[in-house]
Chain A
Amino acid sequence: MIFSSLDFLFFIVAVLSLLILVRSQIIRRYIILFSSYFFYAYWDYRFLALLIYSTIFDYIIGKNIGKSTDDKQRKKILFFSIVMNLGLLGFFKYFNFFIASANSAFGGLNLNLSTLNIILPIGISFYTFQTMSYAIDVYRKKIQPADSFLDFAVFVAFFPQLVAGPIVRAADFLPQLKKEIIIRWVNIERGLQIFLFGLIKKVLIADRISYFVDIVFEGPGIYSTPTVWLALIGYSIQIYCDFSGYSDMAIGVARVLGFDLRKNFDIPYVSKSITEFWQRWHISLSSWFQDYVFTPMYFKISNYELLKKLNPQKRHLFSFVSSIMLGEALLGLWHGANWTFVVFGLWHGIWMIIYNLTRKPWGKLPALTRIVMTYLIVIFGFVFFRTSSLTNSFVYFNRMFSFESGISWIYSPMLMIVPLIVLAHFFAKRNNLKDYIIFDLSSFKGAFVVIFVIMSLFFLRMSYVNPFIYFQF
């Protein structure tokens, strides 16, 4: 069930009611756990067993790493955990991609391997990363292994962030489970408003723009150059509102239940460099890659014997470039089993390297120029992200720069939405807004805002509703 559906409304009311009626803290944890399993099974009950298996597996892994005092042994157990988790992800998400790629690469040698009819379990990219980070943090002794299987299971399956993030760290979440679960009005007041904010972004903005974006991306060849540019800008707004909207809804629901999830987006389109962009966009994923992929890879590469012969500057450069390019390719691939996502990742990797090599001259450019240039780099990357093949990506780029005549479609809702998003970004930046704007719901103003927003969602909701973009990952 998606957050913006009536089914979810009934579900959350039921969960809240149970949590209020039941007094026992243990039973309240079980309610959250089983409602999370119900939430997941509602999507596809066939893969609930996989989620439970993953939970049991990594709980045992964590226990064993924690018990062992032999570093080699701990490393072996961790390695086993990573292999199993990546194996799971690799099989369900990438098996057919690798087979198709191999067939394509070695077609001349008559290689024709068969693909399998594999369904991608929803949320697998998120919860495997979550459990892997847990095992790694236990190995690094950043956290103790979870002493309660119930708490660990809730951490893995917590329904607000289960299917599309944010990716939660055990260090942030497990301590919250040590506290009492109490439904408080102050949390409902705050959580509801954050949830509504996310819902507005998804239902009123992302879904509305997606109508335009989907049609143009389906056949960009017939549209004029301004139209394809507008559709690309539209997509940048759509994906931001869709994903950050979902994250806000997840954060809002978690807050209602009394839990804190970290912000996943921080007005990314005011970034002055591509590096800053990834500090503001899908923060839980980029920080995950920073902590568990880029940094370890950098140190691993720089410690290769061959590189130790180089001077420190060259050694750093080589290690930096390799880890960034490899890491970004993997980050791109995380999004989906398609070469377009790999190229998306490499595109960002290249610009990160360029930025790092040209920091000084880049820093001298006016702030607005840096923001615009960063935005352009990001949206060009989105062409690879959105199109279904590299051929289609190049068709799109061709249309953007060929200035051939075509059907002109200036989707009129964009004339309102683009200025709104730009203003909202600059308002938040100017006022250094780090938190959501929350109204006091016991006041007339707060009551009016919430009621008006709910009515907006009802009357302005389109019948054309897109599933959340990141569900496919």
Chain B
Amino acid sequence: MVKIVSKYFAALVLALLVWNFLIGSFYMNRTVTVKNYVIGSSYVPGSKTVSAGEGFSIYRNDEMGFNNDSISQIRNEKLRILVLGDSFTEAKQVFRSFNFVKLLEQKLDTDGDRYEVFNLGRNGRTIPDHVAYAEGYKSTFSSDYVVIQAGANAFGEGVFLDSGKENKVIEEDGEYKVVKTDFYHDDVGVKKWLKNNFDIPIVLAGLNKMRQFSIFNKTEDETNLATNSSTETLQEVKNDRLTDFLISELAEKYGNKFVLLYIPDFYSIKNGQVIFNDTKDINVVKEICQKYNVKIIDPTAKFVRLYEEKKKLPQGFNNSSPLGGHLNKDGHKIVADLLYDFFLI
């Protein structure tokens, strides 16, 4: 009996070691984040990011925990552009050299090493975050220009989203306001302790996988309680008044030194056909930008042409779905080209 128990124990240890190696090398690891009240949370500086669920990439984060080769707070003679955004900008689905931030820097530097473009994209960032951290970005980086990337849900329900978000919009006496959350994080108790003390791939991947079993998920009440958001606000979609407020806040915080890069949902699949969505929502955003003299870049027309000419979509990957998700290499190239054209002018 003792022999069999020892064999099983040894087998368990070996299996854990093998799986730890495999997960750490090839599987998306759940990188631990670091809180930062000035410029928002980031990953652990120098940590490795592995992404294999959608697209594939492996890279090391920079000295501040973002997706750059290197990053510096100290100014030099180069023109400095900050790119803020969500997971579309963080772009862990593609290797760094293929993301639009890096492509932009390479294109701008063809005439000489005169630019530095920093990627401060972070999964889940929203417009309220960019409003709340505006002073922090200025004081930390003193950039010459800022690109703020917003996704399709940036001006509607996204801003009321729950856990993991660091800032949000609330309505008080009929007026909107950006407020900080309590820096609520997904994990509490044992899970949080394990993540903070055992930055081991197999432990973090295991915690992530537990979510797939419903008995380990938080109840709806627990979610609502933790995020201080009511289900009513979660229903708010495409609110023009809210959009107006957010763009006006960006204009106030960033002045004329920023451009809004808006990546909308430009298509849907209906009855087995690719149908391009109507441009009503995009036009609303453009009108409001015009009202506040905010420059906006909209890649929709180029995305549509990519599909019409080459039957390719700018989002999606071979290991997930080609019909949605994050920007792929084609999408990043289009965005980089548009930003390059913008900065040339």
B152 within 8 A of A: no
Across the interface, do B11 and A447 meet the contact criterion of CB distance under 8 Å? Answer: yes
Nearest-neighbour CB distance to chain A for B174, whole angstroms, equals 41
Contact of A222 among B4, B269, B319 (CB under 8 A): B269
B12: chain A residues at CB < 8 Å are 447, 451
Across the interface, do A411 and B319 meet the contact criterion of CB distance under 8 Å? Answer: yes
**1/0 per residue B196-221: CB within 8 Å of A?**
00000000011001001101000000
Across the interface, do B4 and A6 meet the contact criterion of CB distance under 8 Å? Answer: no
For window 1-46 of B, CB contacts with A under 8 Å fall at 4, 7-8, 10-12, 14-16, 18-19, 23, 27
Question: With A and B bound together, what is the CA distance between A219 and B23 in angstroms?
Answer: 34
**Chain A interface size range:** 20 to 34
B255 within 8 A of A: no
Nearest-neighbour CB distance to chain B for A453, whole angstroms, equals 9
B323: chain A residues at CB < 8 Å are 215, 407
A401 within 8 A of B: no
Contact of B11 among A215, A219, A413, A451 (CB under 8 A): A451
Across the interface, do A452 and B18 meet the contact criterion of CB distance under 8 Å? Answer: yes
**1/0 per residue B261-296: CB within 8 Å of A?**
000000001011110000000000000000000000
Interface size on B, residues (CB 8 A): 32
A53 within 8 A of B: no
Across the interface, do A6 and B215 meet the contact criterion of CB distance under 8 Å? Answer: yes
**1/0 per residue A438-473: CB within 8 Å of B?**
000011100110011001001101010000000000
Across the interface, do B7 and A447 meet the contact criterion of CB distance under 8 Å? Answer: yes
Across the interface, do A442 and B4 meet the contact criterion of CB distance under 8 Å? Answer: yes
For window 311-336 of B, CB contacts with A under 8 Å fall at 311-313, 318-319, 321-323
Nearest-neighbour CB distance to chain B for A312, whole angstroms, equals 52
Question: With A and B bound together, what is the CA distance between A211 and B316 in angstroms?
Answer: 14
Question: With A and B bound together, what is the CA distance between A412 and B328 in angstroms?
Answer: 15
User: Contacts A411-B318, A459-B19 given: A451-B8 contact, CB under 8 Å?
Assistant: yes
Question: With A and B bound together, what is the CA distance between A451 and B4 in angstroms?
Answer: 14
A211: chain B residues at CB < 8 Å are 321
Across the interface, do A459 and B273 meet the contact criterion of CB distance under 8 Å? Answer: no
Least CB separation from A413: chain B residue: B319
Contact of A459 among B11, B205, B269, B322 (CB under 8 A): B205
Contact of A448 among B14, B269, B313 (CB under 8 A): B14
A218: chain B residues at CB < 8 Å are 269, 272
B213: chain A residues at CB < 8 Å are 6
Across the interface, do A222 and B274 meet the contact criterion of CB distance under 8 Å? Answer: yes
B318: chain A residues at CB < 8 Å are 409-412
A411: chain B residues at CB < 8 Å are 318-319
A-B contact list, 13 entries, CB within 8 Å: A211-B321, A215-B323, A219-B269, A219-B273, A222-B272, A395-B272, A406-B311, A411-B319, A444-B7, A444-B10, A447-B11, A459-B23, A461-B212
Which residues of B approach A to under 8 Å, CB–CB? 4, 7-8, 10-12, 14-16, 18-19, 23, 27, 205-206, 209, 212-213, 215, 269, 271-274, 311-313, 318-319, 321-323
By Cβ-Cβ distance, the 7 closest A-B pairs, closest first, are: A219-B272, A447-B11, A448-B11, A412-B319, A451-B15, A412-B318, A221-B272
Which residues of A approach B to under 8 Å, CB–CB? 6, 211, 215, 218-222, 224, 395, 405-413, 442-444, 447-448, 451-452, 455, 458-459, 461, 463
